[in-house]
Amino acid sequence: MKLDVSEAIRNPGVSYAFRVEQAMAPQDVSGDEVRFDPAALEGSFRATSDGTVTVSGTLHVTAHANCANCLRPASAKIQTDFEEDFLYNGDPEDDEIFAYSGGQIDLEKLTLTYAMLNLPMRFLCRSGCEGMQEYVAGDATVSLCQKELPGQHPFAALQRLLDDQESGQVDEGSADKD
């Protein structure tokens, strides 16, 4: 979505309100696809005499991905404030700045930047999701509990040592010997 700022450029210092919707393409985040509902941006913009346009407001968007624990669909509502300067005739390829030319500002980069920066660390389908507890292998149901599959996690050897020590099978002094 492009924001027409031509009136603000003609009247530096005057603030103009806006409310727009911005479509967002799905994004690959560490190998997982994150999809977005259309984002709503609302706020104001004003220009300075050198052509810089300051856009400030609030971004509202819902992100959708798979639950990090059980892979069921999960959603996260994102609401964040922003304030950015758009430089007139700045380099549009420079990731460090927002730029525009003519009398319109493209809000796609701003929307994507703020949405991505405010994604949750892990998507969860519900608070306290414990993940997949079992799956069907052929005609038998197999539990994924680490206690039942001790040889398949990175600390299996330590767990066996602890279990042996608790049952009294390991001499406590043998751990200190080379």
Dump pLDDT digits (tens) for 33-79. 999 999 999 999 999 999 899 999 999 999 999 998 888 999 999 99
Residue percentage of the chain with pLDDT more than 70: 81
Q: What is the mean pLDDT of residues 90-99?
A: 82
pLDDT at residue number 163: 82
The β-bridge relationship of strands 98-100 and 73-88 is parallel
* 108 Cα distance to chain centroid: 16
Q: What is the mean pLDDT of residues 151-165?
A: 73
Task: Report how far residue 150's alpha carbon sits from residue 160's, in angstroms, rounded to the nearest whole number.
Answer: 8
Query: Among 69, 65, 70, which residue's Cα sits nearest to residue 115?
Result: 65
The β-bridge relationship of strands 16-22 and 134-137 is unpaired
Tokens 């390991």 map to which residue?
170
Q: How big is the chain, counted in residues?
A: 178
Q: What is the mean pLDDT of residues 103-107?
A: 91
Give the three-state DSSP class for 106. strand
Task: Report how far residue 97's alpha carbon sits from residue 91's, in angstroms, rounded to the nearest whole number.
Answer: 8
Residue percentage of the chain with pLDDT more than 90: 51
Q: What is the mean pLDDT of residues 72-101?
A: 89
Query: Among 123, 128, 105, which residue's Cα sits nearest to residue 56?
Result: 105
Residue that wins the pLDDT comparison between 24 and 178: 24
Residues 6+ apart with CB under 8 A from 64: 34, 35, 36, 37, 73, 74, 75
Q: Give the model's confidence band at 131: pLDDT under 50 very low, under 70 low, under 90 confident, else very high.
A: confident
